Structure 1
């Protein structure tokens, strides 16, 4: 079970969150095409030792829209508002959530410990983006299943989607999506999450080749990755290891980019986080 709350960000946008547990505060930031619902197993695994706060990032679920001037600045303001509301000093982020945590730590001394799982920090074009125009065209045409396939094939983060042809993948997804327009409780249906990738790719573009910016981060940083993830995530982690003043890198066996989510290996990730945040 979780309790709900919300905070108002600097631009007036409401950021809603789920919260569970007790103890020192930890904020958990989800990545692309995800929402707070995807981190409930991770939150439960840490709840005996920490107060875990999992927001729906803006543009989904309990939170308000992205806004017309969306960018990394708005996401940083959202996280800062959450930190102030919860009095947390620990942050964990997956993927684009890791980018937000990293960028926020540059300007927010109250973040004492920062754990990042595979931030898509593009270095000399390392993160693939050639699929984005097709994905956005499919979104504009209302072809949500096709857009999702374009994302998963383009980012190469899922082995099944990487190898199977589109004509096999799209029809069953269309069928699944018909029954997922109505989600239970506070959950966000998958078809409503697919369009959020567009905003997250805006963050990837905005923060490309900014590695050296993070030399000023004062927090202790844990850099996490899965042994089965695409190589470009490892490139980002390696670059950050060389720049961050106090960092430790851990590779978790048998996990991929979805490792921290309910469908991945949240118990393994929780163990690394528990040791680091303690």
Structure 2
């Protein structure tokens, strides 16, 4: 698997597929290279770069963490893609992509999917409480409880979380638990970073799932309004976990134009 070295020496594992203009896909929380089905559909027309964010999968994790290090990671992937690439980020990956696009000239087009800036829906207190409790649990080494907290925070009912904890796959979530703090840091105080957004000079597309929670649609609309050159679009019938067959044509149209 190709390895890219970030500015602080952190190795990042990155898959590359297809041929054509470069696209980089940025995962959200508790994921690493989860967008493989999407990448396979896009690879017919694009060179798709799908990397493990730091602390995930086969990528390294150099301490201390800062959002700036993840921005450098994305910058390194864009450089490895030839120095110019469209970037698609979903959920917390969308927040990271927005931050990077404000200062990275190699990002030529930007798609932000369900950026979870929930303070835009009047949930600033909820975001603050989540941050404080997450830090407490991680500091205490309670990884499973940290994952459960996150899942409840994004709307999973308690019985569903309890069922997930009983499955063998739960251990993989616990392994990723420390990166929940990285995702949370990328979201700041939970509001759209309008100062950064104003500096994004490239065409942008902000997507919201029509079947996603209303607060995510509000967050996406507010994000689009903050970007100078953005279009807002709803993917009807799609949740926060969209069908790649529905999403891929939308991305291909935008990145190919």
* 2:76 equivalent among 65, 69, 81: 81
Aligned to 2:148: 149
Query: In structure 2, how many angstroms separate the alpha carbons of the residues matched to 1:209 and 1:224?
Result: 15
8 Å contact from structure 2 (residues 152, 161) kept in 1? no
User: What secondary structure, in the 3-state scheme, does the structure 2 residue paired with 1:100 have?
Assistant: helix
Closer, same or farther: CA 63–206 of 1 in aligned 2, 3 Å: farther
**Root-mean-square deviation (Å):** 2.2
Shift of 1:133: 4.1
TM-score, L = length of structure 2:
0.88
8 Å contact from structure 2 (residues 67, 182) kept in 1? no
Query: In structure 2, how many angstroms separate the alpha carbons of the residues matched to 1:114 and 1:13?
Result: 25
* 2:48 equivalent among 48, 52, 55: 52
Unpaired segments ≥5 residues, structure 1: 182-188, 260-264
8 Å contact from structure 1 (residues 145, 170) kept in 2? no
Aligned to 2:249: 271
1:4-60 Cα offsets, whole Å, 9 max, x none, are 211111111111111111111100000111101x11100001010011111100011
Matched, 1:254 2:237: yes
Bigger drift between 144-153 and 226-235 goes to 144-153
Matched, 1:65 2:64: no
Shift of 1:138: 4.5
Closer, same or farther: CA 108–131 of 1 in aligned 2, 3 Å: closer
Shift of 1:244: 1.7
For residues 112-261 of structure 1, the aligned pairs below 5 Å read 112-123=108-119, 126=123, 128-129=126-127, 130-139=129-138, 143-156=142-155, 161-162=156-157, 166=158, 168-169=159-160, 171-177=162-168, 181=171, 189-205=172-188, 208-259=191-242
Number of residues of Structure 1 aligned to a counterpart in Structure 2: 252
Query: In structure 1, how many angstroms separate the alpha carbons of the residues matched to 2:20 and 2:154?
Result: 37
Closer, same or farther: CA 238–175 of 1 in aligned 2, 3 Å: closer
User: What secondary structure, in the 3-state scheme, does the structure 2 residue paired with 1:10 have?
Assistant: coil
Shift of 1:135: 4.2
